[in-house]
Amino acid sequence: IRIKISTKMQPEKHAIQETSFELPGQTGFYRGKVRDVYTIQQDKLVMVASDRIPAFDHILPRPIPYKGQVLNQIATHFLQATADIVPNWLDSVPDPNVAIGKACTPYRVEMVIRGYLVGHAWRTYQAGERTLCGVTLPEGMQENEAFPEPIITPATKAEEGHDEDISREDIIKQGIVSEADYLQLEQYTRALFQRGTEMAAERGLILVDTKYEFGQKDGQIYLIDEIHTPDSSRYFYADGYTERLARGEHQKQLSKEFVREWLMAHGFQGKEGQVMPEM
């Protein structure tokens, strides 16, 4: 597939806010929070990683130049590095912003896995709750502390609006995913997180939490979308982690949490009636 990128430009030079291709054999189009997804003859997907940045399931008004190609290339790196654990959707990357691969039927859950008490899990814990997605959280933990072992806290995959926390029991009970498939998704999730943790450690980082999405094609489960990117994951710097934890200080991290914190400080959490401020 040869395409000439024609984008709706923002004042920021080179920023890709959105695309509007008409590709040979195109049978569908979907604009996600970050990616513009083109379906080719119901069999292939062409994903264009834009420079949009979402938070609280809303798109910030201004894109970040080159964010999309960095995102796409990080995702490609980790998909290739984990292909021995689970087959994935990716076939080729013909452009820094573009990935082409298999069109799979997505499972309607995101497999969120957390190694540390931070972000949404910490906000839940701080509110006095000790159960998250059916998982019991230990008493006496502090922010940024490691769980005894990583916990899986799934979320339903919403086409519009907020993804919602859900337990393993409810996923199976409601028939969202069969029990056999869900247990396999959990197994893949833990193995992927272990590999990501090892790769992060080689670079002086701690993989704190992340999420994986899976789909099915011809009876085969595939890992789909991005993995281990700053959009889907949170990293701490390993150097100084223990000392900062002991002092109760914020951790030095690589993630979108600073965006969320800035938005919350400006009165926005994606709730009804709130207006997204311009960053």
Question: Is the model's pLDDT at 243 over the cut of 90?
Answer: yes
d(CA 155, CA 66): 29
Listing from the earlier edge strand, what are the strands of the sheet with 26-31?
26-31, 35-40, 44-49, 98-102, 90-95
- Tell how far CA 138 is from the center of its chain: 25
C-alpha pair distances (Å), 88 with each of 17, 71, 85, 95, 198: 27, 17, 9, 19, 20
Burial of 82 (0-12, 13-18, 19+ CB in 10 A): buried
Query: What is the structure's pLDDT at 71?
Result: 95
pLDDT at residue number 114: 98
Angle CA 109–112–114, to nearest 5: 165
Rounded Cα gap, residues 252 and 246, in angstroms: 14
- What's phi and psi for 69, nearest 5 deg? -75, -35
Beta strands in the chain (DSSP E): 7-9, 16-19, 26-31, 35-40, 44-49, 54-55, 58-59, 90-95, 98-102, 105-106, 109-116, 131-132, 135-136, 146-152, 155-156, 164-165, 205-217, 220-224, 233-237, 253-254
Residue-wise pLDDT tens digits, 119-163 = 999 999 999 999 999 999 999 999 999 999 999 999 997 655 567
Q: Residue 6's pLDDT is what?
A: 47
8-state DSSP, 137: P
pLDDT for residue 3 is more than 90:
no
Say what percent of the chain tops pLDDT 70.
Answer: 94
Q: How many alpha carbons fall within 13 Å on the CB side of residue 50? A: 25
Nearest-angstrom CA–CA distance, 80 and 130? 37
12: confidence class by pLDDT, cuts 50, 70, 90: low
